[in-house]
Each structure stands twice: as C-alpha cells, then as structure tokens.
Structure 1
Amino acid sequence: MTEANGSAAPLREAVIDASAIEHNVRRLREIAGTRETIAVVKADGYGHGAVTAARAALAGGATRLGVADIGEGLELRRAGIDAPVIAWLHGPGADFAAAADARLELGVSSARQVVEVAASARSSSVDPVRLHLKLETGLGRNGAHRSEWDELFATAAAAEREGGIRVDGIFSHLSGTSRADDLAQVALFEEGVDLAAAHGLEGRLRHIAATAAAIGIPEARLDAVRIGIGIYGVSPVADRTPAELGLRPAMTVSTRVAAVRRVAEGHGASYGYRYRAPRETTYALVPLGYADGMPRQASNAGPVSIRGERYRVAGTIAMDQFIVDVGDAPVEVGDEVLVFGDPATGAPLAEEWAEAAGTIGYEIVTRIGHRVERTAAESPGAQN
C-alpha cells in the first residue's frame, strides 16, 4: 500500500494522538483538583513515546513529570524538556551526579540514598538537588519502612541544613486492593508526614495517589497526584470505560490485511489448530504478533475491526501474525485492520484486548514493540 504522496504506508502503525494526552491531563486535573499534577511518562510514555507524552502533558497543565529511573529523565532533558522531572527507582551505583547536573528531582527510599545524593550534590553545579522521600506504607516495594523513618528524616533534615539538597516532597504508592486498604495506607502515610514535620521537614509536597486513586479516593489526593495510565486514555478501573471517565485513548494500533484465503469447513488456523473453520469461510491474515506486543494469551479472543465490522482472532497468535475468520465478508488484501484505539474511529479498546488476555490495559499499550511505527499527531498547544 502507498499513501497519496507516493510513500509506503507503515505495515504496522501506532498513531499517537498528542491532543488526547493533553485533553486527558486537563480532565484528570479537573477531577483531582490538586495544586500540582505529576504526569508519569516512564516506560517510554507507556509505549506512546516519552517526549511526545511529556510535551502534551505539560501543555495540558502538568506541573511536573515522573519517570522510573535516571536514564529516562536524562532522555527528556536531551530532548530539551526543562520542566521538573522526578525519577524514583535506583539500583546500586545509580549515577546521582549525572541526575544532579541535569536538575532531575530524585525520589529516595533510604537514608543511605540521601547520603549518596548529598555527596554527589557537593560536586554538582546545581544547588540544591531536590529530593522526594519515599515511605513504604504497605505495598512491599521500595520506600523506607516505618522502622526506618526516623533515620531517613533525621538524615535528610541534616543534609538539608548543610546545603546541597532540598526535600521537596514526601510520597508513597497505593496497592489499589480496596478502598479500605488504600485508606489504611493513606493514614499510615500521614503518620509519616507528621513525623517528618517533627524532624523539621514540614510543608513538603505530599503525593500518594496514582490515576485510580486520583479518580476514586478523594482522601488520597493530598497536594499532588501522579497520573500515569489515565493520561493515555486507558481506564485504571475495571468497571468504567475511558469515555465514562471523560478520557480519550491516545494510541491507535492498526495494520493492513496481508493475505486472504478461502478455506473449507474444518480447515485449521495457525499453530495447534486451536480454531477450525465451522463452515466454508475466508481467513484474513493480520501481520501483527507477539513480537509486536500482541499477547499470545488473547488467542481465539482478541478483537479487531475491518471495514467497520468486528472480528476476533481465530486460533493462536504467532510471533509475527494472526488470523481472523471474516466469513463471507468482502475483505481484501490491503484493507485496514484497527486493532485497538479510540472507539470513535471504530477501533476496539485496549481494555478489550486486556480482558481477552487476562491482563490490564497498561500492559497492552506498554508492550507494543519497536516494529510498530509510531506516528505522533502533535498537539497544537504542546510545548516544552
């Protein structure tokens, strides 16, 4: 297939609607009502492109950006994005000096990390290096345990007095198990905030809510929310669609039918013959597979749209391709296949693929592979 300008159209394409990201940030800011909004663009912007997502989120009113690790933050700086960026997951030997020189804010989970950052700050031209202290409130991941809080706060307060660092925030992360579990974590977090104040670290930015809690747990909104999956228009809750939340999916994955084959009743489809034609029918070949991020677990279940009609995967999803049984429909080689995206375009939702695979929408969008060419539709208002 070729486009009107004569260039070859991508075989596999993910169109990223930056204006949708901008819209979603505005919508979530409206829901949360907090004084700050941290837009999370880790994992290459949940597969949407970190730089595209960051610029659109800032245009939508995000006050800070969040990434998992320092390398992701440095990528944003190399792209010319100078907004505040928080990086919070650090392995042994993390390059805190490079982070300080790039003016990244650092989430730290221990007194030891505070000491390491303070040492790096002494050789940096950036003063102070801004920290967010992470408290472990029940998720069992990184963050200082309750038994370590006194040491963490005392070390951070002393380092702040000595100069070189500034504690900007205190944060944690909810499990999303139930409202009761989340509220118990919020209560424990507030104990930590009070203890920090007793150590002289009062009035710092408090943030614990990600998208789900920003929407559904008002008590968790505090001073800022960290919105991740919601800014990409994927619902964080199983019982509400993006449209019901006022969100627009930002990624539309599509391809073209690569082959059609008329087959007899009983003809198998793909490896293992997990599907056999129930009648004489037409198989259409879709050139996407698990190497491109389509979950093999969605075999015999994942939905697509061709010529405005819905079909499901027939048989096993292979590395590079899968089959759909289109019956007697006049499907032809080159017809567009909408895999997931905005239902306004006729596409299935990413959440439908998640349901078919027994996973969550987050995984569907973040796992889309590098063979799927990203095309960014820049938001008119997007800027650094």
Structure 2
Amino acid sequence: MVSSLHRPTKAKVDLQAINDNIEIIKAHLPKKTQFFAVVKANAYGHGAVAVSKVIEKQVDTFCVSTIDEGIELRQSGIKKPILIIGAILPKDVTIAIEYDLLVTVASLEWLEAVQKEGLSLSGLSVHIKVDSGMGRIGVRHLKDANQLIKGLKEAGASVEGIFTHFATADEKDDSQYQKQLAFFTSLVNQLEEKPAIVHSSNSAASLWHTESIMTAVRVGIALYGLNPSGDEITLPYPLKPAFSLESALVNVKEISSGASVGYGATYHAKQSEWIGTVPIGYADGWTRDMQGFSVLVDGQFCEIVGRVSMDQITIRLPQYYPLGTKVTLIGQNGEQMITTTQVAQQRETINYEVLCLLSERIPREYK
C-alpha cells in the first residue's frame, strides 16, 4: 500500500520520547538486565526501521515476529541481535542463518522435521519457548525441553536462551501470572543444561513485577509510552507517548436541520450545523466503530457524525473553520488530549490494536 503523502493525514512519531522511555525503564530494572526492544508489527505502527536505528545503541537485542521483519532490519543496517519470537517453518532455517537471525524453537516436532528434511542447523542460534500457560507455542514438559536443547546442540545449533510469555501480567489479579512464573522458574531450574539468557518479562511484568525479572526483559508497548493495561493499573512511573495522529479539514459546509450525513443516513442534523470532512477512514485503520467518538479542532471536541467511510469521516464543528485547519485524532490540541487508550475504549479493544491497525497509507513523520 502506498503512503498518501499528498493529503494532510499523517502520524507523528517522537523518537526522543522512545529514547527517554528506554532510559526511564532501564533505571528501574535490576543491574545487568539485558534490554530486548520489541519492534514487531512495524514497531507497533511507529515504524520499525526508523525506531530501531535510533535506539540500537540503547538496547541489547531486537524482537520481531517474522523472518521478513528481521530481514527488513538487517537490510536497513541494523547489526544488533534480532530474535524472531514467532514460530517459523523448518524450511526457512537457511534464510534465518543467512541473515543472522535468532530463531524461536517451540517443539520437538520442529526439530524432528528439520532432521527429516536433512537441514543443517550449523550457524543457527536459537531460544527455546516454554508454554507456561499461554497456550500458544512452546514446550510444556521438562523432558521435552531437555531433549530439545540436547537435540539442537547435536544438530549444530547454539542454544542461547529460553523464555516464556505471560498471559495476565497486565491485570490486577496476578494468580495466573504467579502460576506461570512458578511453572517456568521450576522448569528452568531443573534443566540439565541451562541457556545463558532466561527471559519472561514483557512490558507489564517489567513494570509491575520487577522482583521476578530474570536475565533479560522484552519491552514492547511501554517502549512507545503506553500503558499495557490500558487504565486498569496505574503506571509505576511516567512514560511519554510517542505517537500522535493528525489531519486537516478538506471540506466545510453548513447543513440545514434534518439533513442527513453519511452512508445509511444514520445521522440527521438537529438544527443548522457546520460539518467538516476529514480525509481518514477505515482503509487507514480508523474503523467504522469510531462513529460517535470525537476528534479535536481548535482545542475543542468535535463529534464524528455519520458513518466512517473508507476514506473520510465527517465531524460536527462548533463554527465555521477554513480549509486546512488542523484536526487531531490522537494527541494534544490546545489544552485537550485524546489518548490511544481512549480510542481503544471506544472500540472495546486495546491500545496495541489501535496502533497496529493504522495502515501504511498514513505516512509517518519523525522528530
């Protein structure tokens, strides 16, 4: 999808805020803890290459979800280790080796498939994934973990790390978190050969469960200044949101009482009203359920009226404003603010999804 550079809709990314967030988080971690920066999904919509280049000196390893995300970073000049935290198919091992990408291995079946296909693991570095209760990928038994580590080494791979992922570290009720932590800690402590890097803490665990941090943390959403829990748990210290979303009025008209707006004629003016059109829609990731939410114009909340279209939204203005007047969808405008979490609450989802859905049609501008 091509970025629409010739329209006023743009995302602004404050790279200094990301720099600052890393230093703030690191200041609260145990000494010598390795910092893994999660830049998967285009750095949660912030731009993986731009972000990674700026923070490379501050972090120890980058985490991505797919081989292609790793290749993108390598081709952009990133030298630090890159861990693919998602599962890959055995046939893609040679590509991972070619681009010096760390691979997650999550089952004995994966190793057996590699051996059956006669693939060499020489030159491959891996992290073992343990399913401590998330239910996605990973070994669930100590016996399997020991066999996997032994088999990978015999096949020529270097087993650098072992990790798990928490399902509820961002919730007030920590009972499931404690069960997973106990399971993973017990398994690691009983390994016949323990890898050098042991990591379990995601953003939430890094913020609220520092007592259980192991040798490394994987920080994702907090890197970008957002609260992993939405607003269920207060952040233990301030972080700086790095993302804002802006556009501008491209059409302004006065409509009479009773006039309808948008597909399905779902909105009718109650009186004479000023309606502004803003060039963003569900093709950009500003989804149809945003009808009834508000944006900011001149420091004032303006409701989105009528259905969200593929390319446009319509808003009710308090007065006439000229074409080109700034419209803030996420961020500060005057003394008012719209947060990513507030957008997520409107959609009944999480702030992660809001950012990841914003398409490449929206250009990113960096400062």
TM-score normalised by the chain length of structure 2: 0.89
Show CA shifts across 1:11-47 (max 9, x none): 3211222111111122222233361111000011111
Q: Partners of 1:372 and 1:54 in 2: how far apart?
A: 20
Letter in 2 for 1:362: Y
Distance across 2 between alignment mates of 1:353 and 1:52: 25
Cα distance change, pair 370–238 in 1 and its aligned pair in 2 (3 A): closer
Q: Distance in 1 between matches of 2:360 and 2:253?
A: 29
- Quote the Cα distance in structure 1 between the aligned partners of 2:237 and 2:12: 22
Counterpart in the other structure of 2:129: 134
Kindly state the Cα deviation for residue 57 of structure 1 after the two structures are TM-superposed.
3.0
> Aligned in 2, Cα 1:260/1:273: closer, same or farther, shift over 3 Å?
same
CA contact (8 A) 2:104 2:129 kept: yes
CA contact (8 A) 1:12 1:372 kept: yes
1:70 aligns with 2:67: yes
Which residue among 333, 339, 342 is the counterpart of 1:352?
A: 342
Cα distance in 2 for residues equivalent to 1:133 and 1:93: 15
CA contact (8 A) 1:70 1:90 kept: no
Show CA shifts across 1:138-157 (max 9, x none).
Answer: 111011123xx313322322
1:165 is aligned with what amino acid?
A
Write out per-residue CA displacement over residues 286-320 of structure 1, whole angstroms, 9 at most, x where no aligned residue.
1100100112112112x311122222211211111
Aligned partners of 1:88 and 1:236: how far apart in 2? 19
List runs of 5+ in structure 1 lacking aligned partners: 1-7, 378-384
Distance change >3 Å, CA 163–CA 96, structure 1 → 2: closer
Check the 8 A contact 1:68/1:87 in 2, yes or no.
yes
Deviation at 1:203, TM superposition (A): 5.3
Residue of structure 2 equivalent to 1:213: 205
> Which residue, out of 32, 42, 45, partners 1:44?
42
Return the alpha-carbon distance in structure 2 between the equivalents of residues 305 and 235 of structure 1: 22
TM-score by length of 1: 0.86
Matched with 2:297 is 306
Q: CA offset at residue 116 of structure 1?
A: 5.9
Query: Are 1:343 and 1:349, in contact at CA under 8 Å, matched by a contact in 2?
Result: no
Find the counterpart in structure 2 of residue 294 from structure 1.
Answer: 286
1:239 corresponding residue in structure 2 = 231
How does 1:69-88 map onto structure 2 within 5 Å?
69-88=66-85
- Equivalent residue number for residue 13 of structure 2: 16
Provide, for residues 273-294 of structure 1, a one-character-per-residue CA deviation record: whole Å limited to 9, x for no partner: 3332232211111110010011
1:150 to 130, 138, 143: 143
Single out whichever of 9-18 and 205-214 deviates more from structure 2.
Answer: 9-18
Instruction: Write the deviation string for residues 153-176 of structure 1: whole angstroms up to 9, x where unpaired.
Output: 22322432x473221111011111
Residues 265 and 33 from structure 1, CA distance in 2 versus in 1: closer, same or farther, beyond 3 angstroms?
farther
Amino acid at match of 1:305: L
Aligned-partner SS, 2:62:
strand
Query: Does the 8 Å CA contact 1:296/1:316 hold for their aligned counterparts?
Result: yes
Is the 1:304–1:347 contact (alpha carbons within 8 Å) kept by the matching residues of 2? no
Deviation per residue, 1:29-82 (Å, 9 max, x gap): 2233361111000011111111112123324x2211100111111111111101
Post-superposition offset of 1:257: 0.5
Q: Which runs of 5+ in 2 are unaligned?
A: none
1:247-274: CA deviations, max 9, x gaps?
1221221111011111122322212333
* Residues 70 and 235 (structure 1), Cα distance of their counterparts in 2 relative to 1, 3 Å cut: same
CA contact (8 A) 2:111 2:151 kept: no
The answer for the alignment partner of 1:316 in structure 2 is 307
The counterpart of 1:96, out of the listed 93, 96, 108, is 93
Q: Matched residues in 2 for 1:50 and 1:20: separation? A: 15
Report if the CA contact (8 A) 2:224-2:240 is conserved: yes
The answer as to whether partners of 2:152 and 2:159 remain within 8 angstroms in 1 is: no
Could you tell me how far apart the structure 2 residues matched to 1:255 and 1:242 are?
30
Instruction: Tell me which moved more, 173-182 or 288-297.
Output: 173-182
Contact 2:298 / 2:334 at 8 angstroms: preserved in 1?
no
Three-state SS of the structure 2 residue aligned to 1:314 is coil
The number of aligned residues is: 357
Q: Give the share of equivalent positions with the same residue, in percent.
A: 27
Match of 2:179 among 176, 184, 195: 184
Q: Give the counterpart letter for 2:145 in structure 1.
A: L
Gap change, CA 1:26 and 1:94, over 3 Å in 2: farther
**Superposed CA RMSD:** 2.4
